[in-house]
Amino acid sequence: MFSRARDLMKPPITTSLDTSLHDVASQMETHRISTLPVVDEAGELAGVVTKTDLIHFGLARGGAWSSLPTRQAMNPAVITCEASTTLPEVARLMRDNSVHHVLVLEGRRLVGVISSLDLAEPMLKAYEVLRKSTSC
């Protein structure tokens, strides 16, 4: 059963600080994701950009935003956890910070991403175990 971030995380798909916002939006569409971690030249986590960030950024600037670099629209404040973090703690991080994704680090290296939807499977399994144990 899933118990730690490492058990549930998905490999990260990332973008760079200088990628155009048009390309970021295309990447999100191609991979069917709504959050894209941003890494710097050294490969270290620099921030995150979400579909919501793109919408707000685009609305605030009118039509001429898609050629701008990611660094201008990304959020440098990223919610992270270690690979050894328990899943209840990952869920608490999401709830307490009102986010749908937590980025998983080993040291300073980005190793995975967990979405709120990813948490649904272990929650359903736990519910089934509890339901069976109380119905006896």
What is the phi/psi pair of residue 36, to 5°? -130, 115
Higher per-residue confidence, 71 vs 122 = 71
* Mean local confidence (pLDDT), 125-134: 78
Which residues make Cβ contacts (< 8 Å) with residue 63, sequence separation at least 6? none
Residue 62: per-residue pLDDT: 77
| pLDDT tens by residue, 20-62 | 999 999 999 999 999 999 999 988 999 999 999 999 888 888 7
Rounded CA gap, 120 and 117, in Å?
A: 5
Domains defined for the chain, CATH in brackets: 5-134 (3.10.580.10)
> Listing from the earlier edge strand, what are the strands of the sheet with 101-106?
80-82, 101-106, 109-115
Residue 65: per-residue pLDDT: 85
